[in-house]
Structures are given as structure tokens and as C-alpha cells.
Structure 1
Amino acid sequence: MRIALAHKFYHLAGGAEVFFRETERVLRDQGHETLMIASGEDHVREGADNVLLLDAPDYDSPSVLTKMRSLPSAIYDRGKKAEVKAALEAFRPDVFHAFGVNVQLTPSVVVAADELGLPIVGTFNDYKHICPNYKLFHHGRICMDCKPRRFYEPVLNRCSKDNLALSVAGSIEAYAHQALRIYDRFDHFTFSSKFLARTTQSFWADRDVSWSHLRNPFPSAAYEAQDEYAPYGLYFGRLIEEKGVDRLIRAAALLDGFPIKIVGDGPDTEALKALAVEVGADNVEFLGAKWGAELDEVLRLARFVVVPSIWHENFPYVINQSFAYARPVIGSDRGGITELVEHGQRGLIFDPDNIQELADQMRVLVADEDKARRFGQAAKVWSDQLFTDQIAYADLMSAYEQAHENRRRRR
């Protein structure tokens, strides 16, 4: 089988790019021919000869005026559509698998595949397909105001970085994609969390959604777990508002000195450091950004990992990594987190709006290393059994078969 896969970035900018690249790896390892379509400069292809890299304007420019001038091509890019259509005609795939294509590629690439009659599978890791605000989060709160298709709400809420112009742009984009029937062109969707699937169905109540569960491919068994559970807790990830690190710092101040290490950086770094001083969290240590072996060294010995998100995380890779090293997770009751962290089995769950509850759950594992070990070992067994290339491949093939069947019915 030949599969074309499209995503906005080829370089590893975050978990969504890992998902995209790992999915392609699983397919290639099973003998399928693949074509990867993404934006990026030539040097990021890392020697891969099956990658079509398309130019993308700098949409991260600090100038709002520059962003507004780029708006038409960020909504629907006819040039990219033509490039991708030509590449698809040459490659002749059996399936077109679209991940996050908005802005850098635009859904014009989906239209190209649809016009060629290809079965189309959509895999989404955020909420951009149902709301201009791809996190359903702004101004410190979860927001569902634009359900169903009330795409003017982001303008009223200024939910894009509290900026009116950017919020207007997001609303225009959503209405344009609705007019172009972008999501009607998909034959099947996959979601890595049931929460994201349910949320999508609630926003698209008037549409039949063909979907299946596709967990992120992750080689859990390849990670060698340690039996040591050192006396510190760990957070690793971006230091941004929706990650809830401020809640963790406030809870850490209640732990009577038990060390909490924070790995990562982001726009809130200095504010979080100041907060730690303000609340007397002398036990919190900021280690900066760490990757690869440096991160593994800190992660593999932690007593527990905290995922304190206050937005509806879909499928945090940090939980995969933690479980693979047999680290229990203390996670917030948000989004898909509870589908991974079974309370009292692989970790503990808390209400992220309750600082005391987070502190209490951390105290459980601070006081009982054996319980942390039991949770961690159970997490490792569960992860190794569930996150395998074989299961991911079977789920992919099932999704592709369903897309073929649905496309045949539409003809």
C-alpha cells in the first residue's frame, strides 16, 4: 500500500510532529511506501528522500500587520494545492492521511486529495477542527463558547492571545473552511483520546462522524526502567499558562521541603520563578530545558511525575515517557489524561482547581516509596502491552480500510 501523510511541520516542534513521524515509521517498517508532505526548509529532511517540503511564510512574526497580510494564504493556499496535487498524481497513493495541516499547509491539500478521489483519514491532536481556538482555553479558563459553529465567539472573547486582529483572523479562517466543506471531505477520523472524539461529536452534533481510536505510536518496551525511586518529584514540559505549573508550585510549597524539579522553558519561566519565591517554595528547582539523555537522566529516577494541566490535554507524550520508565504520574482531571492515568493503579488524579488536593496526592507518594514503585511498575506493564508498533499498525490498517469503505459509499 502507498500512503501519503501530511502535517504542517516536518521538524520536531512538539508531540504532534512526533506522532506524524512515528506513524510514518510504523508504516514504512511494515513495508509500505510513504510520501510525507510538510512545510520546512530543505535541511530539516535529515536525508529522507520521501519528503515533499513546502515553503511556509513566517506566521510567527511579532507583527500583527504581517500576519494579517498573510491571512489569505494561511486559510487556503492554491499554490500548495497545485504542488500537492501534482505530487499525489505522481505518487498515486491508496490513502491520504492528514494530520494538522492548518496554516502552514492549509486544508487546500485535503481538497487536492479529495479531487483525486483518494480516501482521506484525518488525525487531530488539538481542537482546531472544531474551534478557532485550538486549545479551547483562553484567559485562564476552558471555553466551549463556539459550540456549535459559533465562530464569532472568539472575536467577542479575544481568545487568540487577547488580540482582536488575531481573533478575527481565526474566525474568518473557521468560516472559510466551513464554506469550503473541508471536514465533509474526510472519510474517517482517528483520535488518540476518547475525550477528543466525544468533544468533536458534541461540536458536530449534526454530522455523522466515522472515527476510531488510534493511540500515539510509542516504543514503550524499548525503555529500560529503573527500580530506584529517588526523593524528588518532576514536571517536564513547556512553561506556559495552560500547563498549570503555577498550581504545582503553590502545592509544592505545602510539602515540607520535598524537592520538586521543573524541566522546561517557555514564556512564563521568569513569572514562575518569581512565584516560587513569593510562596516560599524553596524546594522547587528550575533545571531549564533538557532533551534526550539529559532529560532521561532526571526522569528515570523521579519518585513521581506531575502533569498539572488546566486545559483539556488530548494525549500528553510526557505520560508515555513517564510510564515507559516506570514512573507513576499524578495527573489533573482534564481531557485525555484520565484515560492514561488510572487513579490508584498507575498514579493519582486530582482536581487542578484544588491546590490542596494536589499537595495531598503528592504527599501520598512522598510518604510511601513502595506505593510509588507499585504504581510505576503497573504503569510500565500496561504501557509495554498497549503501546507497540503491532497494535498501532493494526489500528492504522483498520482506519484506512474504513476510509476506503466510506469513500466507496460516497461515489
Structure 2
Amino acid sequence: MRILLSNKFYYRRGGDCIYMLNLEQLLREHRHETAVFAMDYPENLDTPWKRYFPQNMSKLMALTRPFGSIEVKKKFNKLLDDFRPDVVHLNNIHTHLSPIIAELAHKRGIRVVWTLHDYKLLCPRYDCLRGDKTICELCFDGNKKPCLTNKCMKGSTLASWIGYREAVMWNRKRLESCTDAFVCPSLFMAEKMEQGGFDKRKLKVMCNFIDVGKCRKDDYSRDEYYCFIGRLSHEKGAETLIEAASQLPYKLKVIGGGPLNEELRMKSEGLGGNIEFLGFKQWDEIKDIAGRAKFSVIPSEWYENNPLSVIEAQCLGTPVLGARIGGIPELIDEGVSGMTFASRSADDLKNKIECMYNATFDYQQIAQKAMERYNAEVYYKEISNLYVGSEYCEESSKH
């Protein structure tokens, strides 16, 4: 088959980008022809398809790009003419590229599959959080005016107006009419999409995959510490974790950076040195640190979809202590591959860290089961069926 993959960025920026790059490699390994459509961004990987990429979005373009710019339409149509795909597989395309590309493909009779990495189709600011960082579902019923009222987009009236107009233009009915199947990486995501009025027959639950080979190891012994890997920000629960960890004697290694980096470092000073901030690390270092940790903590405070940080940790044999929010609980077999705690509760997190630290886990078995579950070949069978139109089998996985 000829498959055209699209995402706003084409480098390892976040989970959506990593997913698409992994999928591109997987499809090529199975002898499919692939092409890519993304924004021309400085950090992009080199590709022969970059000549079709629309230019990097400027501040001025933010007023037009979300609604389908002339440049995007012209270059995407040219790519469709030259590549002639059987399937267009979309990822994060809103704002920088816009769903206009779904309509252009659909009008030509090309099958359109869309993997959802966040809640943009339901929430104009994508994460279902209000300015005060509380969970919000006010826009789920189709009325997007709360986005304006609450200035949800960066606290800005102009940005919120653009987000509101974008959501009104690309409404549920219009998006459904040009998309054959929406891939939901978690059951939670599928349920929220259905709550927002989307046709459940078009929702296919498919947990993300990784290259499990990069997680293989011979030694499953553990050292005396636990770890956090991720962005140091409010929605990731970093503050709650530091609050809980500072009350315990156990060693915590923090991998990653973000807007709260300096603030949390200062808070942790004078706490006996039990919290160590390691900053950004490449995979080989992450593998070593996470692979020797007694467990990993995912303290998210937003509707986390299907975090790769959980999947990668388990494939290393590392159990996960995850917040009971979004799709995280679906990935954890309580007491076997980890535990869960009440999101936003430092007290419950503190108690569960103690439980995890003193619990006994079969690290090698965790790794074995995770590698079987998140294996790329398992995912390939499902996605290839979806590409040819077999997504309605068993009523969308009977979710």
C-alpha cells in the first residue's frame, strides 16, 4: 500500500512525533511505500518529501493557518497528485496544518485514518484544563464559547478567539464526514470521544507500540531509588510528586526539564539530598537509570492518554506508580506491574510510594508481558486491518 503520514512536526519532539516516526519505520519494514507531510520546521529530519512541506508558521500565519491556508492546500494537493496514496494517516495536524488536509484527501476517495494524541477534537486547548489547572469538559457538548469566556488559550483573548473559531469551523460533524476511522490509544480517549458525540463505530481503540528491542536487557536487578521521567510542569503533577517525595527518606531521581525546573530544585534544597535532578537525558542513559529503578512514578494531573513513559518503563521491567486519571490505569495491573493513586493527592502518593518501595515485583515478568503487549508486530496487524477497512470488527473492540 501507499500510505501518507502527516504530523505538524517531523522529528522526535513529543509522543505524537515519536509514534509517527516509529510507524513510518514499521510500515517500511513491511514493504509499504510511505510519504510524509509536515510543516517545514528547522529541527525536522531530512526527507525527500520536504519540498512539499508548507513553511514554518509565523505569528501572522496563526490567524489563517488553523482554517486551511492556500499554501497548505496547494502543497498537499501536489503531494496527493505525485504520491497517489491509498491511505492518509493523520496525527497532530490542528493549527499548523489544519484538518483541511483530511477533507482534501476524502474528496479524492482516499481513506483517512486519524490517530488522536490529545483531546483537541473536543477541547480547543487540547488538554481539558482550565487556567486554574482544573479539569474542564465544558466544550464537550459542542458549544465552544467557554473557551472564550475563560480565555483558555494562554490566557489571551485573541488566542482564545482563534481557538474558538477553529473549533467551530472544524466541528464534530465536519470532522466525522471526512474521516473513516479515529484511532484512540486508550479506552478512556474513546469514551470521551463518544461522550462528545462522535460515532463509536468510527472509534478504534489501539494501545500505542514501541520498538521493544531497545528495552531488552540481561540484568533485572534494582538499586535503591525510584524515578520520574517527564516534563516538569503543572499538568504532569511534578509539584505534587516533589511535595510527597520530600516527606520520605527514599532516593528520587528526576529526569527531564520544564517550566517548573528551577522552582522545584529550590524547593528540594535542604531536604537531605534525597531528590536528584538529572535534567534531560538521551535514551541510553534513561534506559540505564529507569532500568535499575525500583519503580517509576507517573503523577499526571490531566487526562493523560496513553503515555509512552509507562510503556517504556514496563518494557524495562520497571513497575509504575501511576495517577488514576485518563488512560494511565488501563496500563497498570494493580499489584503486578505497579499500583495507582488518587491524582493530585500528595498524601495518597506518599503512602503509595512507601507501598511500592516495600513491595516485591517480578521485574523480568513485567518486562516479558509488556514486550508482548506493546510489540510493534501486534500493532501492525491491527493498523493494517484498519487501513483496508476492517475497523468495525467486534464493534470497535467492544469498547
Query: What's the TM-score, normalizing by structure 2?
Result: 0.92
The range that moved more, 266-275 or 194-203, is 266-275
Query: Which amino acid is the alignment partner of residue 338 of structure 2?
Result: G
The answer for the alignment partner of 2:10 in structure 1 is: 10
The answer for the alignment partner of 2:96 in structure 1 is: 104
Judging changes above 3 Å, is the alpha-carbon distance between structure 1 residues 78 and 57 closer, same or farther for their aligned structure 2 residues? same
Once the two structures are TM-superposed, the CA of residue 85 in structure 1 deviates from its matched residue by 1.3
Query: Is the 1:307–1:332 contact (alpha carbons within 8 Å) kept by the matching residues of 2?
Result: yes
Query: Which amino acid is the alignment partner of residue 32 of structure 2?
Result: H
Pick aligned residue for 1:125 from 117, 121, 129? 117
The answer for the alignment partner of 1:44 in structure 2 is: 44
Secondary structure of 2:242 counterpart: helix
The answer for the alignment partner of 2:160 in structure 1 is: 167
The answer for the alignment partner of 2:326 in structure 1 is: 335
The answer for the alignment partner of 1:182 in structure 2 is: 175
Judging changes above 3 Å, is the alpha-carbon distance between structure 1 residues 19 and 215 closer, same or farther for their aligned structure 2 residues? same
Identity of aligned residues (%): 26
Q: For the residues of structure 1 that align with 2:109 and 2:171, how far apart are their CA atoms?
A: 20
The answer for the alignment partner of 1:347 in structure 2 is: 338
Query: Is the 1:151–1:174 contact (alpha carbons within 8 Å) kept by the matching residues of 2?
Result: yes
Question: Is 1:364 matched up with 2:355?
Answer: yes
Secondary structure of 2:38 counterpart: strand
Once the two structures are TM-superposed, the CA of residue 231 in structure 1 deviates from its matched residue by 0.7
The answer for the alignment partner of 1:251 in structure 2 is: 244
Residue-by-residue CA offset, 1:227-262 (whole Å, 9 max, x unaligned): 22111110011111100011111111221x211111
Query: Is the 1:98–1:121 contact (alpha carbons within 8 Å) kept by the matching residues of 2?
Result: yes
Query: Which amino acid is the alignment partner of residue 124 of structure 2?
Result: P
Query: What's the TM-score, normalizing by structure 1?
Result: 0.89
Instruction: Supply the RMSD in Å over aligned alpha carbons.
Output: 2.2
Query: Is the 1:56–1:105 contact (alpha carbons within 8 Å) kept by the matching residues of 2?
Result: no
The answer for the alignment partner of 1:55 in structure 2 is: 54
Runs of 4+, deviation exceeding 4 Å: 50-53, 403-406
Alignment of 1:110-259 (within 5 A): 110-138=102-130, 139-178=132-171, 181-204=174-197, 207=199, 209-225=201-217, 226-255=219-248, 257-259=249-251
Query: Which amino acid is the alignment partner of residue 389 of structure 1?
Result: A
The answer for the alignment partner of 1:95 in structure 2 is: 87
Query: Is the 1:251–1:356 contact (alpha carbons within 8 Å) kept by the matching residues of 2?
Result: yes
Once the two structures are TM-superposed, the CA of residue 222 in structure 1 deviates from its matched residue by 4.0
Judging changes above 3 Å, is the alpha-carbon distance between structure 1 residues 404 and 283 closer, same or farther for their aligned structure 2 residues? closer
Judging changes above 3 Å, is the alpha-carbon distance between structure 1 residues 249 and 405 closer, same or farther for their aligned structure 2 residues? closer
Secondary structure of 2:48 counterpart: coil
Q: For the residues of structure 1 that align with 2:386 and 2:90, how far apart are their CA atoms?
A: 13
Once the two structures are TM-superposed, the CA of residue 313 in structure 1 deviates from its matched residue by 0.5
Pick aligned residue for 2:314 from 315, 323, 347? 323
Q: For the residues of structure 1 that align with 2:292 and 2:214, how far apart are their CA atoms?
A: 17
Pick aligned residue for 1:381 from 339, 343, 368? 368
Query: Is the 2:40–2:50 contact (alpha carbons within 8 Å) kept by the matching residues of 1?
Result: no
Judging changes above 3 Å, is the alpha-carbon distance between structure 1 residues 281 and 37 closer, same or farther for their aligned structure 2 residues? farther
Query: Is the 1:338–1:349 contact (alpha carbons within 8 Å) kept by the matching residues of 2?
Result: yes
Q: For the residues of structure 1 that align with 2:39 and 2:7, how far apart are their CA atoms?
A: 8
Question: Is 1:77 matched up with 2:69?
Answer: yes
Paired residue total = 391
Once the two structures are TM-superposed, the CA of residue 184 in structure 1 deviates from its matched residue by 1.9
Query: Which amino acid is the alignment partner of residue 44 of structure 1?
Result: N
Q: For the residues of structure 1 that align with 2:358 and 2:209, how far apart are their CA atoms?
A: 34
Query: Is the 1:121–1:403 contact (alpha carbons within 8 Å) kept by the matching residues of 2?
Result: no
Query: Is the 2:105–2:112 contact (alpha carbons within 8 Å) kept by the matching residues of 1?
Result: yes
Query: Is the 1:45–1:51 contact (alpha carbons within 8 Å) kept by the matching residues of 2?
Result: no
Secondary structure of 2:388 counterpart: helix
Q: For the residues of structure 1 that align with 2:124 and 2:255, how far apart are their CA atoms?
A: 30
The range that moved more, 98-107 or 234-243, is 98-107
Query: Which amino acid is the alignment partner of residue 190 of structure 1?
Result: V
Q: For the residues of structure 2 that align with 1:281 and 1:80, how far apart are their CA atoms?
A: 55
Once the two structures are TM-superposed, the CA of residue 192 in structure 1 deviates from its matched residue by 1.0
Query: Is the 2:144–2:168 contact (alpha carbons within 8 Å) kept by the matching residues of 1?
Result: yes
Once the two structures are TM-superposed, the CA of residue 179 in structure 1 deviates from its matched residue by 9.1
Once the two structures are TM-superposed, the CA of residue 182 in structure 1 deviates from its matched residue by 3.1
Q: For the residues of structure 1 that align with 2:321 and 2:63, how far apart are their CA atoms?
A: 41
Once the two structures are TM-superposed, the CA of residue 42 in structure 1 deviates from its matched residue by 7.3
Query: Is the 1:11–1:40 contact (alpha carbons within 8 Å) kept by the matching residues of 2?
Result: no
Judging changes above 3 Å, is the alpha-carbon distance between structure 1 residues 275 and 53 closer, same or farther for their aligned structure 2 residues? farther
The answer for the alignment partner of 2:34 in structure 1 is: 34
Gaps of 5+ in 2: 394-399
Once the two structures are TM-superposed, the CA of residue 214 in structure 1 deviates from its matched residue by 2.2
Secondary structure of 1:44 counterpart: coil
